Amino acid sequence: MSQEVLQKLQQHLGENVLEVHDHRGDETATIEAKTLHDTCRWLKKTAGLEFDMLVDLTVVDYLEQGRTPRFEVVYHLYSIAQKHRLRLKVGIETDTPEVDTVSDLWRNANWCEREAWDLYGISFRNHPELRRILLYEEFEGHPLRKDYPKAKRQPLVRRPREEFEAVVRGSGIGNKRTLI
Amino acid sequence: MGLEFTTGRLADTVSWARKYSLFQYPFVTACCGMEFMAVWGPRFDIARFGAEFPRFSPRQADLLMVVGTITERQAPILKRIYEQICEPKWVVSFGVCASSGGFYQNYSVTPGIDLVIPVDVYIPGCPPTPEQILDALVMLQKKIQDRDTWSQRNYEIQEWTKKQAEGTLAKR
């Protein structure tokens, strides 16, 4: 059933479908980023397809595989009416990690895209409120990118242990033997 | 009964009273909370140690139980809660996440709450067993009796400094 969806998608988009993959029901299509929003609208509105639910929206960073484009945004779609699934992939360039928002089509994409912005720094064009959702505003960088240093911490408050010890041991008193 | 009175230092008596009436503020953020709830139940019964009553306002509590993972985003909240508790106050770091960050060695988790607030007793384990919690409580009671906690030592230093400035320090 979902293979029909892939065929329809290929007929509709022609050469804008870069790659399709189909193995035991995980129908996947990689498409051109510039056609993303129109394609999503078409997938949602066309009778017989009716992808009315965005199950998940994630990003993959292929830095270590050395792939170009480096980022890939993945959309997991499901049709409650037709009971079929489709996975859409869009490659994103490194220097301008930007893609159209789909939050006007699926409301939950709003938060998913904010999360993608927060952790991967993918910017979504025309998003109503693109700001961090999980991390704090003071955080610099996007920690799930593969070039983010693993050991880097960005604390909001920190009182080092030495300071506590200075409070109590600084004067050389305060342990049990020198109680008042 | 020949024994009609005992002698002792006032500070010891006060500590004795304090250690058997700990009012805890449970700062529960993660799965450790399940074991923590078990300690409140009849099987392990933390009430035997006089520490069964949770206060859900830090202003009414004197024992801060930090149960679970503390993220960098939450650390300022924890610090603020700690500062709201009246002296004398005690902190128990419950489980490896609170004590050291545990297996979350990443950008988001504070590697040990003792970077943010002073801690008196650490409980290891993921999660700790109820017996460990009771053991930690007894250790804390011993520290309170010995006036060896951060809060009590800090207080005594302030008193000592004050008396030294006034010249009223008792000769030993």
Is B162 an interface residue toward A (CB < 8 Å)?
no
pLDDT at residue A178 greater than cutoff 50: no
A9-60 per-position pLDDT tens digit: 888 888 888 888 888 878 899 999 889 999 999 999 988 888 999 999 999 9
Would you tell me how many other CB atoms lie within 10 Å of the CB of residue B97?
Answer: 28
Does a structural domain hold residue A7?
Answer: yes
Q: Which residues of B touch A173 (CB under 8 A)?
A: 157, 160
For residue A132, the domain's CATH number is 3.30.460.80
pLDDT of residue A168: 56
User: d(Cα B56, Cα B159) in Å, to the nearest integer?
Assistant: 31
pLDDT of residue A165: 61
Query: Per-residue confidence at A173, pLDDT binned at 50, 70, 90?
Result: very low
Q: Distance from A118 to chain B by nearest Cα, in Å?
A: 13
Contact A168 B106 (CB under 8 A): no
B95-146 per-position pLDDT tens digit: 999 998 888 888 899 888 888 888 899 999 888 999 999 999 999 999 998 8
Q: Are B54 and B100 in contact (CB under 8 A)?
A: no
Does a structural domain hold residue A174?
Answer: no
Does a structural domain hold residue A179?
Answer: no
Which pTM value belongs to this model? Answer: 0.83
Assess if CATH 3.90.1720.10 describes domain B2-171.
no
Does a structural domain hold residue A178?
Answer: no
Contact B114 A160 (CB under 8 A): no
Is B160 an interface residue toward A (CB < 8 Å)?
yes
- Quote the domain boundaries for residue A93: 2-169
pLDDT at residue B60 greater than cutoff 70: yes
Average pLDDT over chain A, rounded to an integer? 84
Does a structural domain hold residue A125?
Answer: yes
Does a structural domain hold residue A176?
Answer: no
> What interface predicted TM-score (ipTM) does this complex get?
0.77
Average pLDDT over chain B, rounded to an integer? 87
Number of domains in chain A: 1
Helix/strand/coil (H/E/C) assignment for every residue in A150-174: CCCCCCCCCCCHHHHHHHHHCCCCC
Going from N- to C-terminal start, the domains of chain B cover: 2-171
Does a structural domain hold residue A33?
Answer: yes
pLDDT higher at A79 or B7:
A79
pLDDT of residue A117: 93
A109-160 per-position pLDDT tens digit: 999 999 999 999 999 989 998 999 999 988 888 999 998 888 888 888 876 6
Q: Cβ neighbours of residue B140 under 8 Å, at least 6 residues apart? A: B19, B22, B63, B90, B92, B120, B121, B149
Contact B150 A168 (CB under 8 A): yes
Query: Per-residue confidence at A179, pLDDT binned at 50, 70, 90?
Result: very low
User: d(Cα B94, Cα B92) in Å, to the nearest integer?
Assistant: 6
- Return the SS3 of A57: strand
Does a structural domain hold residue A88?
Answer: yes
Closest by CA position to B136, among listed B144, B147, B58: B144
